[in-house]
């Protein structure tokens, strides 16, 4: 996906651009109470046979208010401009794309539990059929999940976290944080081992 095409699609469906981070290649759009983040690429995928130019797929994150789970975030990988158009038209659309499929056949062990959230999440995300029922038993204390490849990072409202498959430096930074330290507010993962962690101080 390229920036120009993403902006055209967003404008077509009435979305307003509120964020553009060139370094992270992310664009954020809002419409009403909904938000769509597009993680774009600039290079088209390799082609074996000559064909019309095709945009490289990107990742699309949607933030919507789910009827049972409250505010939720859903990340869909390998989205094309066609599926992005469907998402801009209706962010709740089920694209059937590979966001919930893991590339690895082994199931990584979660680092810490969110109750049974870590194990529950991998079990629920293991099959495409479970995608449609993901929010039926979702724990409402979970703020957001960022899933990349075979890894994930989960942040709860209370600042507790669970993760697997993240860069070792990030693991070391958040592993075993004392209760007296600032709580994790959000995490951004970049290319390679780049990451950013924001913490929030709780005052009595």
Confidence of residue 145 (pLDDT cuts 50, 70, 90): low
Cα distances from 102 to residues 64, 77, 81, in angstroms, run 24, 11, 22
The closest alpha carbon to 58, from 79, 85, 84, 82, belongs to: 79
109 and 204 assigned to the same domain: yes
9 and 79 assigned to the same domain: yes
67 and 140 assigned to the same domain: no
Checking if the pLDDT of 130 tops 50, the result is no
Of the residues 66, 100, 134, the one at which a domain ends: 100
134 and 149 assigned to the same domain: yes
DSSP assigned state of 99: G
pLDDT, mean of residues 126-152: 51
Angle made by CA atoms 107, 110, 113, in degrees to the nearest 5: 140
107 and 192 assigned to the same domain: yes
Looking at residue 161, its pLDDT comes to 75
79 and 149 assigned to the same domain: no
Tell me if residue 100 falls in helix, strand or coil: helix
185 and 198 assigned to the same domain: yes
66 and 113 assigned to the same domain: no
35 and 71 assigned to the same domain: yes
Angstrom distance (rounded) from CA 95 to CA 180: 43
Angle made by CA atoms 195, 139, 191, in degrees to the nearest 5: 15
50 and 124 assigned to the same domain: no
Which residues fall within 8 angstroms of residue 75, CB to CB, at 6 or more apart?
59, 60, 61, 99, 145, 146, 147
Return the structure tokens found at 34. 């909904």
203 and 118 assigned to the same domain: yes
pLDDT in tens, 59-116: 777 776 656 656 667 777 777 888 888 888 887 776 444 333 222 334 444 444 444 4
Of the residues 100, 135, 150, the one at which a domain ends: 100
Looking at residue 103, its pLDDT comes to 29
Looking at residue 144, its pLDDT comes to 58
Looking at residue 157, its pLDDT comes to 65
Count of domains in the chain?
2
pLDDT in tens, 1-50: 678 888 898 999 999 998 888 887 888 888 887 888 888 765 444 444 44
Looking at residue 111, its pLDDT comes to 43
Q: What is the pTM of this model?
A: 0.42
Identify the domain containing residue 69 by its residue range: 1-100
Helix (H) or strand (E) holding 156: strand 151-156
84 and 114 assigned to the same domain: no
- Is 150 or 169 the better-scoring residue by pLDDT? 169
Count of alpha carbons within 13 angstroms of residue 78, beta-carbon side: 10
């Amino acid at each position: 996906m390229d920036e120009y095409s993403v902006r055209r699609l967003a404008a077509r469906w009435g979305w307003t651009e509120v964020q553009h981070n060139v370094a992270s290649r992310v664009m954020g759009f809002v419409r009403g109470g909904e938000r769509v983040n597009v993680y774009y690429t600039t290079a088209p995928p390799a082609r074996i046979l000559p064909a019309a130019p095709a945009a490289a797929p990107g990742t699309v994150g949607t933030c919507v208010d789910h009827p049972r789970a409250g505010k939720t975030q859903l990340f869909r990988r390998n989205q094309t401009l066609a599926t992005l158009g469907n998402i801009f038209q209706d962010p709740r659309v089920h694209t059937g794309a590979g966001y919930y499929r893991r590339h690895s056949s082994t199931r990584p062990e979660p680092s810490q539990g969110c109750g049974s959230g870590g194990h529950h999440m991998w079990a629920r995300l293991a099959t495409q059929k479970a995608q449609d029922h993901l929010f039926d038993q979702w724990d409402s204390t979970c703020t957001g999940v960022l899933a990349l490849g075979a890894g994930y990072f989960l942040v709860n409202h209370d600042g507790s976290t669970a993760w697997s498959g993240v860069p070792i430096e990030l693991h070391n930074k958040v592993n075993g944080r004392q209760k007296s330290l600032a709580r994790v507010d959000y995490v951004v993962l970049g290319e390679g081992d780049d990451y950013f962690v924001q913490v929030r101080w709780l005052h009595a």
